[in-house]
Amino acid sequence: MIDIYQALFLALVQGLTEFLPVSSSAHLVIPSLVMGWTDQGLAFDVAVHVGTLIAVLFYYREDLMRMADGWLRSLRGGGACDDSRLVWYLGLATVPAGVVGLLAGNFIEANLRTLPVIATTTLLFGVLLGLADRRSTATGVGRPLGLTIAILIGCAQVLALVPGVSRSGVTMTAALLLGMNRQSSARFSFLLSIPIIASAGLLKTWELAGGSAVVDWVSLGLGVIVSGLAAYFCIAIFLRLLNKVGFMPFVYYRIVLAAILYALWLV
């Protein structure tokens, strides 16, 4: 069973790093190495996924209700609108990562979840985010989201299956490189997290249902609450500050984090 303080810390880290472009796996590997913590277990993984999913659903609740209404009206012959098209964009953009995750997820988990891989991807995709952010400030308003851009961002999301890449980081990077502005890139990335987090949570729940492990409901409840609150405030603050500070603070942070990971690997 997971220690209560370990549960609080890991839930906080997961909630903060799920949506920031800094890689949750890069942060979660450090306490396991430095403090010798064992794996938190499948049930706790499900709990923190549920927490972060609730956070993004609640933050975008009005957008999601409007999108659902537009999509349902379009299915009834009411014609397409921006909200109904966005639903299709999100669904199609989720397919590449879903397919690759099902086909290669176990291989990636078994072979690529290593310190040198996480350190390298943290560094490389941090630098790439910086280059994309510099380009975005030069292009100004940005291109509107369309089907081709959505699918290309979805293809980029496949790279996030490799630990250290960061799902939010790589999708925002792709959106910026494709000409979208910072706010639009972040919004689409956060909305795109909903089907992928929900799918991952359902898959883990299915695996959990087939096991016989004892469930620590207190730790799971704390995991949901702490990760959810952390994720919600993280999204709100990030979007509020994004146009002021850009992505460069996260780029510098990833470079420092990569240096720490390399140092842990070499020690």
Structure confidence by residue, pLDDT tens digits, 178-231: 999 999 999 999 999 999 888 877 877 777 666 666 667 788 888 899 999 999
**Three-state secondary-structure class, residue 23:** coil
Would the CA dihedral through 115, 168, 8, 224 be positive or negative?
Answer: negative
Q: Give the model's pLDDT for residue 199.
A: 84
pLDDT surpasses 60 at 94: yes
pLDDT surpasses 60 at 138: no
Q: Give the model's pLDDT for residue 211.
A: 63
CA dist 79 and 260 (Å) reads 53
Q: How many domains does the chain have?
A: 1
pLDDT surpasses 90 at 65: yes
CB atoms within 10 A of CB 244: 6
The answer to whether 230 and 56 have CB atoms below 8 angstroms apart is: no
Instruction: Quickly state the pLDDT bin for 36 (edges 50, 70, 90).
Output: confident
Structure-token pair, residue 60: 């975008």
Total-model pTM: 0.90
The answer to whether 21 and 193 have CB atoms below 8 angstroms apart is: no
Structural domain of residue 53, as residue ranges? 4-266
The answer to whether 229 and 19 have CB atoms below 8 angstroms apart is: no
Considering the chain, what is the average pLDDT of its residues?
88
